[in-house]
């Protein structure tokens, strides 16, 4: 049932499903991967052979967020902006609505949408060397993919305001200490730790596990329904700004951006 996915690899191990983002070199969320992420969790929910899913990234990175060439193309074609942001709420809705537990195996840096995906998971376990950040603001955007919803709920508004207004990076160990993610472990212990956690969930009564996850997410889903479309709309507005184009060009050219405030 997953043959249509080209940038997500899906592998079964019993009733555990491993979902791997695969867009070398850093699993940036270009349009095609973004599109697949907006569908795959609906499919996982319908998958009768899966009880627990693990989301991770190929190679040494979980996901480095947006794709610069794709962003530049979108700067020249507003319809790409619209299609991207039409899909963004579905990523949030589908993960929060999925009754099966989702574990984020954060094997490396999780930036922007990558961070949002890790935070949307029920349990995020990261390698200690992983960096986590939502630097939308640094590229002339707002966190319309769920970040503005999730960060304040996990670490409080005071901390969330700082990290979202500056785009500052958090190391995985510090993220675990402040409650942004569940746990940080040495990289060579990541696979064992994730597998052990998945096995623990798989050993529990299936219906009770799903009901518990769904119950925990009810309030969060209500908040998401009231906010996520507006958040996506605000990011889409920012995508049309000259400062966003300048930020993208500066990153491609490896120079400091010169923002004009429009």
* pLDDT number for residue 61: 97
Q: Quick: pLDDT tens for 87-144.
A: 999 999 999 999 999 999 999 999 999 999 999 999 999 999 999 999 999 999 999 9
HSE at residue 238, side-chain half, CA atoms within 13 A, is: 20
Residues 50-65: what's their mean pLDDT?
Answer: 96
The one-character DSSP state at 187 is: G
**CA–CA distance from 39 to each of 22, 95, 202 (Å)?**
16, 10, 24
114 contact partners, CB below 8 Å, separation of at least 6: 27, 29, 57, 61, 62, 63, 64, 65
66 has pLDDT over 80: no
Q: Quick: pLDDT tens for 45-56.
A: 999 999 999 999
73 has pLDDT over 90: no
Using pLDDT thresholds of 50, 70 and 90, give the confidence band for residue 85.
Answer: confident
Checking phi first, is residue 239 left (phi over 0); if not, alpha (psi -120 to 50) or beta? alpha
pTM: 0.96
* 260/262 Cα distance (integer angstroms): 6
* pLDDT number for residue 75: 86
* 127/105 Cα distance (integer angstroms): 8
What domains can be seen in the chain, in order of their start residue?
8-188 (3.90.226.10)
* pLDDT number for residue 218: 96
- Tell me the pairing of strands 52-57 and 123-127: unpaired
* pLDDT number for residue 18: 98
33 has pLDDT over 90: yes
Residue 191 burial (CB count, 10 A): 14
Q: Quick: pLDDT tens for 221-240.
A: 999 999 999 999 999 999 98
Q: Quick: pLDDT tens for 144-190.
A: 999 999 999 999 999 999 999 999 999 999 999 999 999 999 999 99
Residue whose C-alpha is closest to residue 109's, from 100, 118, 101: 118
24 has pLDDT over 80: yes
Strand order in the sheet with 102-106: 8-13, 16-21, 52-57, 102-106, 123-127, 183-185
* Tokens of residue 115, six digits: 């961070």
The one-character DSSP state at 29 is: B
């Amino acid at each position: 049932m997953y043959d249509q996915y080209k940038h997500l690899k899906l592998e079964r191990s019993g009733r555990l499903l491993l979902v791997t983002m695969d867009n070398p070199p850093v699993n940036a969320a270009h349009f095609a991967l973004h599109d697949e992420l907006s569908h795959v969790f609906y499919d996982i929910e319908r998958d009768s052979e899966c009880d627990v899913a693990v989301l991770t990234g190929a190679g040494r990175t979980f996901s480095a967020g947006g794709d610069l060439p794709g962003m530049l193309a979108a700067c020249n074609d507003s319809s790409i902006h619209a299609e991207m942001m039409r899909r963004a709420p579905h990523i949030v809705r589908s993960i929060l609505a999925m009754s099966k537990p989702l574990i984020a195996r954060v094997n490396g840096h999780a930036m922007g949408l990558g961070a949002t995906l890790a935070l949307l998971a029920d349990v995020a376990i990261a390698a200690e060397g992983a960096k986590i950040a939502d630097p939308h603001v640094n590229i002339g955007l707002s966190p319309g993919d769920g970040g503005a919803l999730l960060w304040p709920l996990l670490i409080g508004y005071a901390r969330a305001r700082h990290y979202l207004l500056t785009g500052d990076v958090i190391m995985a160990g510090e993220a675990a200490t402040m409650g942004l993610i569940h746990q940080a472990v040495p990289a060579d212990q990541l696979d064992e730790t994730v597998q052990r956690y998945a096995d623990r969930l798989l050993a529990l009564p299936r219906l009770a596990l799903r009901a518990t996850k769904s119950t925990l997410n009810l309030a969060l889903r209500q908040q998401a329904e009231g906010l996520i479309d507006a958040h996506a709309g605000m990011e889409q507005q920012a995508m049309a700004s000259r400062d966003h184009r300048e930020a993208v060009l500066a990153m491609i050219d490896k120079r400091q951006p010169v923002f004009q405030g429009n």
